[in-house]
């Protein structure tokens, strides 16, 4: 659930009384502090915390935080651009009480996502969560469209005892291997218990392909709640891992070569309580609107990668034939296409049919990534866009003629190429607004400069423990 109303000075109607009640309840459960969580433009999770007794005050007046975080880089250096990156001013962080969760992996703590407003009480145009919230309320009121979303989480589990900065896989068994599941049995069981206690309905938890890699996928929610959940689950994975002497990395490329960590997005478009990805007259049961949405996303993928794959390390992952989806191709259940159409199995198809977007990783700010992808899709809906021919198998194997016939192109191979495509994309820039657009470009250019001259393995090492 997500609170749709913007925060206001004095508190959203009813929030202060509710927060006071919740604070009493939390204190009774041994919760001493609340983690107020947001994600910056570089994709780094940042927090402030308040004692539980201050929750009602935070719901009324927010908690101060500098706007300078809009232009932090992943290594904590700060870039400037226009009005961004100045040491002046302050913003207020307001917890969404609907997202308040007692942290099962960190006894004594609860967690809540925040929206940011100015000291004068206006929504902060650089707040990614507010951006996504507004986009969804506009789509509901202007177009009658709703969304369900989920973010897949892949990560690598390393030994806490590894030499500083290095990654030593904590499980050595084969990909998807039974041995790996046994090696990290206690960690896995504690993680599932923590997710259950936090109300996260995990669909699957399994060993993945790369060394020490695992994956969790959870059920679909409204997109803001799905983004919140991806942040919460990662916070939980980190905390549970630490209690087991383990260290985890969500970096797109823990190592410079091999399969990386993805953060695939799943999205479905709904109208009047009906999933538009099934039961329609277009290919694979899509309705015209679901096809137009997919075509809108497909058309803007090059620029989108600046948002969905925002780190120099993202481009170590985005390589052909590693299931990361690096071609502007779509197809039913095709794992090498950037867009995979999931029709679902016969029974739960009404709920399960959705669109999977693969060139997304967990360096991405999930609010910005979901918002930018949805904005691209909605542009397709407005234009009544149609999909080109579908692709089966690995698009890397298409002849130039076959690729041209399906409009299949390679996605950007570097962050610099992605930024160039983003700059040229009016639809994405308009959707994000001037300030968020500036923030994205300034931060990406800062990251590009930060890795200038580094070899691939140095890039992987630089971002290994950031996300």
Residues that bind ligand GLU (CB under 6 A): 154, 259-260, 262, 317, 323-324, 335, 358
Cβ at position 220, least distance to ligand GLU in Å = 17
Measure CA 248 to chain center.
Answer: 17
Cβ at position 202, least distance to Mg ion in Å = 14
Told to check if 356 binds Mg ion by CB under 5 A, we report: no
Residue 99 or 263: the one with the smaller Cβ distance to Mg ion is 263
Measured at CB, which residue is nearest to Mg ion?
Answer: 215
| The entry of Mg ion, ligand GLU, none that residue 228 binds, CB within 5 to 8 Å by partner kind | none
Residue 262 or 303: the one with the smaller Cβ distance to ligand GLU is 262
| The entry of ligand GLU, Mg ion, none that residue 139 binds, CB within 5 to 8 Å by partner kind | none
| The entry of ligand GLU, Mg ion, none that residue 190 binds, CB within 5 to 8 Å by partner kind | none
Give the CA radius of gyration of the chain: 21
Residue 260 or 303: the one with the smaller Cβ distance to ligand GLU is 260
| The entry of Mg ion, ligand GLU, none that residue 115 binds, CB within 5 to 8 Å by partner kind | none
CA pair distance 335, 396, nearest whole angstrom: 12
Residue 336 or 447: the one with the smaller Cβ distance to ligand GLU is 336
Residue 324 or 451: the one with the smaller Cβ distance to Mg ion is 324
Stretch that binds Mg ion, among 139-147, 210-218, 405-413, 453-461 (CB under 5 A): 210-218
Cβ at position 209, least distance to ligand GLU in Å = 6
Residue 115 or 215: the one with the smaller Cβ distance to ligand GLU is 215
To which residue do tokens 């919460």 refer? 232
Measured at CB, which residue is nearest to ligand GLU?
Answer: 262
Stretch that binds Mg ion, among 85-93, 126-134, 207-215, 328-336 (CB under 5 A): 207-215
| The entry of Mg ion, ligand GLU, none that residue 316 binds, CB within 5 to 8 Å by partner kind | none
CA pair distance 29, 42, nearest whole angstrom: 35
Cβ at position 174, least distance to Mg ion in Å = 15
CA pair distance 409, 386, nearest whole angstrom: 17
String of contacts with Mg ion for each residue 163-202, x by CB under 5 A? ----------------------------------------
Q: Within 10 A of 309 (CB to CB), how many other CB atoms are there? A: 29
| The entry of Mg ion, ligand GLU, none that residue 259 binds, CB within 5 to 8 Å by partner kind | ligand GLU
| The entry of Mg ion, ligand GLU, none that residue 247 binds, CB within 5 to 8 Å by partner kind | none
CA pair distance 451, 147, nearest whole angstrom: 37
Residue 183 or 215: the one with the smaller Cβ distance to Mg ion is 215
Residue 154 or 447: the one with the smaller Cβ distance to ligand GLU is 154
Residues 6 or more apart in contact with residue 312 via CB below 8 angstroms:
414, 415, 447, 448, 450, 451, 459, 462, 463
The H-or-E segment that residue 216 falls in is strand 213-218
Contact 252, 311 (CB under 8 A): yes
Site size toward Mg ion (CB under 5 A) is 1
Residue 386 DSSP one-character state? -
To which residue do tokens 């899709």 refer? 377
Residue 130 or 322: the one with the smaller Cβ distance to ligand GLU is 322
Distances (CA, A) of 344 to 269, 323, 356, 373: 15, 19, 12, 21
Residue from 40, 96, 115, 215 in contact with Mg ion (CB under 5 A): 215
| The entry of ligand GLU, Mg ion, none that residue 260 binds, CB within 5 to 8 Å by partner kind | ligand GLU
| The entry of ligand GLU, Mg ion, none that residue 317 binds, CB within 5 to 8 Å by partner kind | ligand GLU
Residue 62 or 262: the one with the smaller Cβ distance to Mg ion is 262
Task: Provide DSSP, 241-291.
Answer: HHHTTEEEE--S-SSSSS------EEEEEEETTEETTSS-SSGGG--HHHH
**CA-wise closest residue to 204 among 172, 238, 181, 227:** 181
State the maximum Cα–Cα separation within the chain, in Å, rounded to a whole number.
Answer: 67
Residue 94 or 315: the one with the smaller Cβ distance to ligand GLU is 315
Cβ at position 208, least distance to ligand GLU in Å = 6
Contact 261, 465 (CB under 8 A): no
Cβ at position 264, least distance to ligand GLU in Å = 6
| The entry of ligand GLU, Mg ion, none that residue 96 binds, CB within 5 to 8 Å by partner kind | none
Residues 6 or more apart in contact with residue 198 via CB below 8 angstroms:
101, 102, 103, 104, 232, 236
Residue 71 DSSP one-character state? G
Q: Give the binding site for Mg ion (CB under 5 A).
A: 215
């Amino acid at each position: 659930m997500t609170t749709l109303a913007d925060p206001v000075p004095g508190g959203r109607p009813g929030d202060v009384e509710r927060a006071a009640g919740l604070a009493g309840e939390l204190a009774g459960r041994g919760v001493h502090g609340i983690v107020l969580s947001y994600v910056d433009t570089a994709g780094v999770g940042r927090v402030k915390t308040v004692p539980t007794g201050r929750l009602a005050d935070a719901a009324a007046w927010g908690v101060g935080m500098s706007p300078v975080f809009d232009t932090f880089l992943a290594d904590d250096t700060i870039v400037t651009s226009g009005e961004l990156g100045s040491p002046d001013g302050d913003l207020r962080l307001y917890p969404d009480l609907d997202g308040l969760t007692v942290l099962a992996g960190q006894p004594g703590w609860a967690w809540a996502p925040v929206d940011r407003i100015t000291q004068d009480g206006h929504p902060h145009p650089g707040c990614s969560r507010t951006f996504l919230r507004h986009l969804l309320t506009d789509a509901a009121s202007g177009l009658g469209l709703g969304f369900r979303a989920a973010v897949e989480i892949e990560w690598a589990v390393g030994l806490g005892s590894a030499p500083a900065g290095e990654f030593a896989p904590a499980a050595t068994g084969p990909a998807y291997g039974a041995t790996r599941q046994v090696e990290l049995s206690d960690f896995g069981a504690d993680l599932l218990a923590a997710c259950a206690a936090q109300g996260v309905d995990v669909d699957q938890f399994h060993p993945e392909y790369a060394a020490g890699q695992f994956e969790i996928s959870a059920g679909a929610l409204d997109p803001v709640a799905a983004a919140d959940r991806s942040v919460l689950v990662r916070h939980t994975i980190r905390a549970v891992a630490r209690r087991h002497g383990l260290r985890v990395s969500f970096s797109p490329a823990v190592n410079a070569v091999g399969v990386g960590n993805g953060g695939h997005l799943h999205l479905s478009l709904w109208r009047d309580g009906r999933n538009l990805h099934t039961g329609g007259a277009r290919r694979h049961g899509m309705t015209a609107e679901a096809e137009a949405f997919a075509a809108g996303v497909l058309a803007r993928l090059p620029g989108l990668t600046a948002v969905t794959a925002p780190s120099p390390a993202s481009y170590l992952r985005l390589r052909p034939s590693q299931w990361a989806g690096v071609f502007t191709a779509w197809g039913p259940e095709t794992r090498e296409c950037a867009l995979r159409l999931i029709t679902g199995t016969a029974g739960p198809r009404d709920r399960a049919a959705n669109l999977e977007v693969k060139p997304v990783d967990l360096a991405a700010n999930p609010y910005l990534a979901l918002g930018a992808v949805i904005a691209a899709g909605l542009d397709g809906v407005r234009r009544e866009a149609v999909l080109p021919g579908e692709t089966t198998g690995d698009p890397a194997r298409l002849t130039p003629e076959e690729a041209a016939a399906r409009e299949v192109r390679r996605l950007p191979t570097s962050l610099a190429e992605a930024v160039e495509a983003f700059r040229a994309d009016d639809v994405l820039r308009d959707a994000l607004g001037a300030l968020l657009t500036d923030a994205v470009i300034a931060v990406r250019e800062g990251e590009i400069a930060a890795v200038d001259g580094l070899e691939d393995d140095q890039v992987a090492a630089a971002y290994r423990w950031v996300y």
